[in-house]
Amino acid sequence: MFNRRRFLAVLLGPAFIFVLALPPGGAFAAELEARAEAFIQSLSVDAVESLTQPDTSREERIKRFRRLFNAHFAVRSIGKFVLGRYWRKASKDEKKEYLSLFEDLMVVSYVDRFQRYAGKNLNILKTRAEKGSAVTVFTEIARAGGAKPVRVLWRIGARGEIIKILDVIVEGASMSQTLRSDFGSIIRRKGGKVSGLLEELRIKTASLKADAGN
Amino acid sequence: MSWHPAHGRHLRVGTLVLAVFLILAGGCATAPDPGDPEAVAEFNKVNDPAEPTNRAIFELNRSLDTAFLKPVATFYRDVIPQFFQDRINDALDNLRSPVIFLNDILQGELDRALATAARFMVNSTVGILGVIDIATEMGMEGHDEDFGQTLAVWGMPEGPYVVLPLFGPSNPRDTVGIVVDFLVDPFNLWASNSNRDFAVFARTGTRAVDLRAIHMEALDSLEKTSLDYYATLRSLYRQRRAEEISNGKGSANLPAPGLGQAPLDDGQPPPGNGIKTTEKASRIR
């Protein structure tokens, strides 16, 4: 009896570990992966359509990119992550102003970069399901002049019908992580005050909006 | 970049660099209140105890860049035809091959070492002394390695963040790496043994201009859009190094904003947990 129990434990133990080590989901994960892939594909088409038409003023491009950004990026989630532990320290009004300035900063700083990428070939290499209804889509974006393509990873989250980008990782550098270091440093230098960050954000977004772009 | 420990007459440059370093040294970042565990954790994560000194050297590098490197790199990028820029870049890459090969071996990556050796042989012959990267055309893609990465693979921790005069963002581990790579580079050995030090200067200078021109656009837009350029580059340097050390496999497991940390956009409390990546981020060495 004892032996048989032991035998079973030896037999089932590894099997149990194996089950735990399986990627989450199964059929659900596969469906999510397909959705995420289609989502990135459609984003790249949308970006080409709305950003690469000639004779569009920068103001108009910013407007279109803002729409695209809000539709495809989990702006609030990213903004909160970027603020890190200071999110809890911010007052309600500060949070509100922060999220609006954060959206502004993202839109005006990425509109020109995004335009440079849009229209280039985006190649989906593979997708991988993560825990918590998230997927990483591994892509490669071609560059002009036969240069090595850029590796871009898209971290995508889904809940119900909503599917949005949580992070973009370009050649190993995560947008969210980098912004978190940037903002965190400003707050520390401003004596741990979120209001100090808001001040800097106001100045930065104003100067970027005034910029003619290039 | 402009010194060689084996040669006395370059000592002056070394002394100058050291003097600047010592003058600026002495500033330490203010330690956080030990009673605030979150602040302490943040301080340790930033891992930049000499931040005021680093910032000073960073600014010094920046003004040197604005005065010398950037104008030359801008001229190079705008005036020299792309074709010749590519040839120079290919040749410089090829010159690095022996060091890459050595580090491939030291990291136990025999397949990668063989690939590097094959590329070097093809490019140095058919590719006319490396001027044309024929190997990539033939489907043998190159990769980079350095001794800083080798030390990381061997398990040496990176240590605190350091900004080196002229060289920029680094850490003790990568600083050792730069020195070792320099000392074992066959080209440098040949040049110093045959009194052709100018060749080392020419190569290093051209490399600096080449890399500066390649990264011009990215650096310009980072400088323009970041709130704290110094902190942004510090973060990017670490992320890029982690990615290089893991040979491009690490960043897929970075922690990211997740549904558990914030609702997607509707302000409702989310179900489920945030993204927990399957492998621990700490496994990215």
DSSP string for residues in B218-251: HHHHHHHH-SSHHHHHHHHHHHHHHHHHTTT-SG
What percent of chain A clears pLDDT 70, i.e. is strictly above it?
83
* Rounded Cα gap, residues A123 and A137, in angstroms: 10
Chain A residues 77-136 within an 8 A CB cutoff of chain B: 77-82, 85, 105, 108-109, 112-113, 128, 130-134, 136
Rounded to a whole number of angstroms, the distance from the CA of A126 to the nearest CA of chain B is: 12
* Rounded Cα gap, residues A62 and B122, in angstroms: 48
Q: Provide the b/e sequence for A11-22 (b: ≥16 CB within 10 Å).
A: eeeeeeeeeeee
Residue carrying structure tokens 């909503």: A162
Q: In terms of CATH, what superfamily is A4-213?
A: Tgt2/MlaC (3.10.450.710)
Binned at pLDDT 50, 70 and 90, residue A8 comes out as: low
Q: Using a CB-CB distance cutoff of 8 angstroms, which residues of chain A are in contact with residue B277?
A: 130-131
* Rounded Cα gap, residues A132 and A123, in angstroms: 25
Rounded to a whole number of angstroms, the distance from the CA of A72 to the nearest CA of chain B is: 11
Residue ranges of alpha helices (H) inside A73-190 are 75-83, 86-89, 92-117, 175-189
Contact A77 B231 (CB under 8 A): no
Domain ranges for chain A: 4-213
Helix, strand and coil percent figures for chain B, each rounded to 5: 65, 0, 35
Structure tokens at A100: 């609006």
Q: Are A126 and A138 in contact (CB under 8 A)?
A: yes
Average pLDDT of adjacent 10-residue blocks, chain B of 285 residues: 44 52 61 86 92 97 96 96 93 96 96 95 92 90 94 96 96 97 95 92 95 92 94 96 88 65 41 37 33
Contact B244 A208 (CB under 8 A): no
Binned at pLDDT 50, 70 and 90, residue A135 comes out as: very high
Rounded to a whole number of angstroms, the distance from the CA of B121 to the nearest CA of chain A is: 21
Contact A172 B260 (CB under 8 A): no
Q: Is the pLDDT of residue A59 over 70?
A: yes
- How confident is the model over A95-127, as pLDDT tens digits? 999 999 999 999 998 887 777 766 668 889 999
Taking CA atoms, B198 is separated from B70, B189, B202, in Å, by 22, 13, 6
* B260: contact with A, CB 8 A cutoff: yes
Backbone angles phi, psi at B185, to 5 degrees: -65, 120
* Rounded Cα gap, residues A159 and A162, in angstroms: 5
Residue carrying structure tokens 């010592």: B22
Residue type at position A133: S
Q: Using a CB-CB distance cutoff of 8 angstroms, which residues of chain A are in contact with residue B242?
A: 172
Helix, strand and coil percent figures for chain A, each rounded to 5: 65, 20, 20
- What confidence score (pLDDT) does residue A22 get? 47
Contact A159 B257 (CB under 8 A): no
- What confidence score (pLDDT) does residue B107 get? 96
* B79: contact with A, CB 8 A cutoff: no
What lies within 8 Å, CB to CB, of A186 at 6+ separation is A196, A197, A200, B227, B228, B231
* B251: contact with A, CB 8 A cutoff: yes
Among partner residues B38, B258, B260, which is closest to A85 by beta-carbon distance? B38
* B263: contact with A, CB 8 A cutoff: yes
* Rounded Cα gap, residues A70 and A47, in angstroms: 13
Specify whether the backbone of A192 is left (phi greater than 0), alpha (psi in -120 to 50) or beta: left
Contact B257 A184 (CB under 8 A): no
Here the ipTM equals 0.83
What lies within 8 Å, CB to CB, of B51 at 6+ separation is B27, B28, B29
Contact B240 A172 (CB under 8 A): yes
Residue type at position B71: P
Q: Using a CB-CB distance cutoff of 8 angstroms, which residues of chain A are in contact with residue B257?
A: 74, 77-78, 80-82, 166-167, 176
- How confident is the model over A146-203, as pLDDT tens digits? 678 889 999 999 888 889 999 999 999 999 999 999 999 999 999 999 999 999 999 9
Q: Which residue of A has its CA nearest to B224?
A: A208
Q: Which helix (H) or strand (E) holds A170?
A: strand A162-170
- For chain B, give me the number of helices (H) and strands (E)? 13, 2
Averaged pLDDT of chain A: 84
| DSSP structure class, residue A73 | B
- How confident is the model over A22-39, as pLDDT tens digits? 445 567 778 889 999 999
Q: Using a CB-CB distance cutoff of 8 angstroms, which residues of chain A are in contact with residue B269?
A: none
Q: Which residue of A has its CA nearest to B239?
A: A173
Chain A residues 136-175 within an 8 A CB cutoff of chain B: 136, 138, 145, 148, 151, 153, 155, 157, 159, 162, 164, 166-167, 169, 171-174
Contact A75 B265 (CB under 8 A): yes
* CA angle in degrees (0–180, nearest 5) for A47-A48-A54: 120
